[in-house]
Homo-oligomer: A and B are copies of this chain.
Amino acid sequence: MSVDFSTDPTAQGFFAPMRFEADIEDCETQGEIPPELNGSFYRTCLDRRYPPRYADDTPYNADGAVDMFRIANGNVDFRTRYLRTARYTAERAAHRALFGRYRNRLTSDPSVAQLSHNTGNTTPLLFNGRLLCLKEDSPPMAVDPNTLETLCEWDFDGQMTARTFTAHPKLDPRTGELIAFSYEARGDATYDIAVFIFDAQGKLKRQWWFKSPVLSMMHDMAITDRHIIIPTTGMVTSRERLDAGLIHWTYDSSVPCHVAILPRDGSGEVRWFQGTPDQAMLLHTTNARTEGDRVILDAPVASANFHPYFPNADGSGFDVAGVSPNIRRWTFDLSSTRTDWDEEILFDGIRATSMVRIDDRFLGQPFRYSYILAVDPKMPFDRARGGNLSVRVANAWWRFDHANGTIDRAYVGSTHGLAEPQFVPRHRDAPEGDGWVIGVANDFSQMRSELVIVDAQQMQRGPVARVKLPFRLHTQVHGWWVAG
């Protein structure tokens, strides 16, 4: 029973799993790390230890690993660790995969039927002294932010009673509150949604429980200073689907988008809006704000299935258009009884990815810039080396100016793919956009990964510094910056 990934098309070339942990002191660096850049950049990543039990499983069901680039005084130290989940421990003892298709416990080995399938592989976020590594099908995995040692699956001292927890909670930069939601919150294929507000000390301040009109993936949310916004998608499931042993999700192009909006202060109940099916693939939000009675949400939104491993419900093949959203502005009028909303397309004609970030100091407030991962067709990509993926690898970071509609572009090299950009302000009180865009670039020519640092106000200059690792890194989902 040997470990052999050679028949897995998602595990070839640069995308072969790492399967090791490492520390690197005094990382090799070209260029100069800005002396003001001081903090830790965390990434949660996909890294299968054992070949999947089912060839049609999604790479998003890989084991979770967390990386840390610690930057201080122009020097970078690197560390990567697997999350020691129940799944990691059980499969390590068995020397093979025991967990089955993504989020379908009926496809797992019976020996692990009662264990958490948490991978914690989606988003890292520091809250109240713990690095939370999040996967939306499970509670947070709590990790020591210095050692990356896994602490436990974390229920906020028993305050968080849902079975799941979003990978995209929002940390309010003004109040320090953590605002989160859970879907399928009472277990697989339940329509329950829970919403939680924790204060900066981790005390549960308010919660809501209500039902969703659809049983769909709800990957991200948004907040404003007054509201919480949670959209549904066309990526749906059902009890029957799970009982049939299928992967959790299927994309139903007839299902419209719904948006839940709640007042943060508890002054009212959830209000549901209903859009159209071509609005039903919002994976990540850019930012939102409340202006009077209007809630305004900016986000990349696609009109089709974003993931080839989640099949279309109508049996049609995967269409790459689903991974290429355009940037939309949705305006909800809370003063009227309308259940739909107004949509405006921003940056007309642009197709990016859904991997968008902002200067997090402006979360929930008026803002000007967003930073997005993009697939620039002008840049070459060595598909043979990158593996047999059905989509091109992203190779550019774009800065959107939401005030004047312009785009600034950063490339890091013709042989490099990129992960999600992370904005880091120059200092705590720097104006919006004054700082760096950092993130990992994958050099396919050398099969090495780099942390690259770009001046956010001079994107076109490309990296001012490159921190070169001696190996390929695993595929990042999301990253997180912690200053100081």
Contacts and interface: CB of A to CB of B under 8 A. Distances in A.
Contact of A472 (B13, B22, B470): B470
A346 to B, nearest CB: 40
Copies in the complex: 2
B447 A25 contact: no
Interface string A1-33: 011111000000100111111111111111011
A470 B16 contact: yes
| 3 nearest A-B residue pairs (beta carbon) | A447-B447, A20-B22, A2-B29
Contact of A28 (B4, B29, B30, B447): B4
Contacts of A24: 19-20
Interface of A: 2-6, 13, 16-30, 32-33, 49-50, 74-75, 92, 95, 446-448, 470-472
A50 B23 CA distance: 15
Contacts of A13: 446
A471 B26 contact: no
Given A13-B446, A26-B95, A446-B447, 11 more contacts: A3-B28, A4-B29, A5-B28, A16-B448, A16-B470, A17-B470, A19-B470, A20-B23, A20-B470, A25-B95, A447-B448
Contacts of A3: 26-29
14 contacts: A2-B74, A2-B75, A3-B26, A3-B27, A6-B30, A16-B446, A18-B471, A21-B22, A21-B23, A26-B50, A447-B448, A447-B472, A470-B471, A471-B472
Contacts of A20: 22-24, 470-471
A470 B2 contact: no
B19 A92 contact: no
Nearest to A22: B20
A102 B28 CA distance: 23
A87 to B, nearest CB: 15
Contacts of A16: 446, 448, 470
Q: Which of A2, A29, A75 has the most CB of B within 10 A?
A: A2
Nearest to A467: B2
Contacts of A21: 22-23
Contacts of A17: 470
A476 B472 CA distance: 21
Contacts of A95: 25-26, 75
B32 A2 contact: yes
Nearest to A32: B2
A481 to B, nearest CB: 21
B33 A28 contact: no
Contacts of A18: 470-471
Nearest to A474: B470
A253 B272 CA distance: 89
Nearest to A51: B28
Contacts of A26: 3, 49-50, 95
Contacts of A25: 92, 95
Contacts of A22: 20-22
Nearest to A384: B445
Contacts of A472: 447, 470-471
Nearest to A29: B2
A471 B22 CA distance: 12
Q: Which of A21, A23, A26 has the most CB of B within 10 A?
A: A26
Contacts of A471: 18, 20, 470-472
A4 B4 CA distance: 36
A28 B23 contact: no
A26 B97 CA distance: 12
A2 B446 contact: no
Nearest to A28: B3
A29 B30 CA distance: 35
A17 B472 CA distance: 14
Contacts of A19: 24, 28, 470
A472 B471 CA distance: 7
A13 B22 CA distance: 20
Q: Which of A19, A22, A30, A50 has the most CB of B within 10 A?
A: A19
Nearest to A6: B30
A383 to B, nearest CB: 14
A415 to B, nearest CB: 12
A6 B2 CA distance: 38
